[in-house]
Structure 1
Amino acid sequence: MKFAYLIMGKIFDSNKDRAYIHNEISQIIGVSDMEEACKIAKELQNEGVDCIELCGGFGEEGARKIIDATENKIAVGFAVHLEEQNDIYKKLFGR
C-alpha cells in the first residue's frame, strides 16, 4: 500500500516540504492551502497512492474536497481531536 499524509499551513510549499519513509512507499507533504492540496491529491492518485490521510486542519469539509478531487476512488481520512482539547487547539491554531 502506498500512503501519503498531508499537512496544511501557509508556511508549506509542496515542492520543497516533502519527506519519504519506507523506501518511498509512505510520504508526508506540506501544502499551503486547499487548492494546492487538491492538486497534490490528484497527483498522488495518479502515482498510485492508495490512501491519503489529512491533518486536522482540513476538517470534514476539507476531506470532502480531497475526496471530490480524487473522484472518491482512493481512501481519504482526516485526523481529529477529542472535544476536551478544543480550547487547546483553538489557542494553538486560532480557531
Structure 2
Amino acid sequence: MALTKFGFIVTGDNFVQPQGTEKFSMKVIGISHPSEGIAAAQELVADGIQLIELCGGFSPVWAGRIIEAIDYAVPVGVVAYGPESIDKMHALFLA
C-alpha cells in the first residue's frame, strides 16, 4: 500500500492545515503544548492518516505517550536534532 495520507504535529500555536492533491494529502496540526499531541494524533488516526511525524519539540517521553495513546495504529516518527542544535532549540522553546 502506498503512502497517501500523512500527518504532522508541530508545537507552537493551535491550528489545523489540510493540504494535498488527489493522490496525496497531508494534515498539519499545530498545538501549544506536547500534551495536546495525544488528541491530535488520535484525530489523525481517526481521519485515516497512515503515518505521523512529530516535530522536534516533542521529547521521547511524549512520543512514547502518543504512540501508546493511538495503540500503535500507525508508525510515528520524531524529527531529531543533533547536539550542535540543542542550545538554539532550547532558546526557541523558551521564548
Q: TM-score range by the shorter chain?
A: 0.7 to 0.9
1:18 aligned residue: 17
Matches within 5 A, 1:1-95: 1=3, 2-9=5-12, 11-12=13-14, 14=15, 17-23=16-22, 25-94=25-94
Question: TM-score by structure 1 length?
Answer: 0.80
Distance in 2 between residues matched to 1:25 and 1:19, nearest whole Å: 7
Bigger CA drift: 63-72 or 40-49? 40-49
Percent of pairs with identical residues:
31
1:5-49 per-residue CA deviation (whole Å, 9 max, x = no partner) reads 00012x32x4xx324223461121112224432112112112211
Q: Please, which runs of 5 or more residues in structure 1 have no aligned partner?
A: none
The structural deviation recorded for 1:69 is 1.2
1:58-82 per-position Cα deviation (integer Å, ceiling 9, x unaligned)? 1211111110111012100111111
Q: Name structure 2 gaps, 5 residues minimum.
A: none
How much is the aligned-residue C-alpha RMSD, in angstroms? 2.0
* Separation in 2, partners of 1:37, 1:93: 16
TM-score (norm 2): 0.80
CA drift of 1:91 comes to: 2.1
CA distance in 1, matches of 2:11, 2:62: 10
